[in-house]
Amino acid sequence: MVLRGRLRGAFLMRRRGWLLRMCLLGLLFGSGLLSGRNLHRGFRFNIRSRALLGNWFRIINRFFRLCGLLFWFFIVSFFLVLLSISIILVFGFASLL
């Protein structure tokens, strides 16, 4: 019984760690700290293959930047919804008193 609970807790922690890593990657890409341009500088290709791969890195950079912006949008909107619900609850209970 205890072992099953521990295994379940370890599985949940592993899933949370994966979600946290994905969120951090989204933040890095969204803030532009880890952008396609920086990735492009890390590769050592000749000029022709750099020009060919540059478009792909630009597309990937824009995609992850959009993902990071959407992530921030959802985080901010989630906290705004929580704030509005708490204000409604506080004023609702205050009006009952």
- List pLDDT tens digits, range 11-47: 545 555 655 666 666 655 555 544 445 444 444 444 5
SS3 1: coil
Specify whether the CB–CB gap between 28 and 15 falls below 8 A.
Answer: no
pTM score = 0.38
| Average pLDDT score over residue span 70-77 | 85
Residue 80: pLDDT band (50, 70, 90) is: very high
**Two structure tokens written together for 4:** 């099953």
Residue 43 phi, psi dihedral angles, 5° rounding? -90, 145
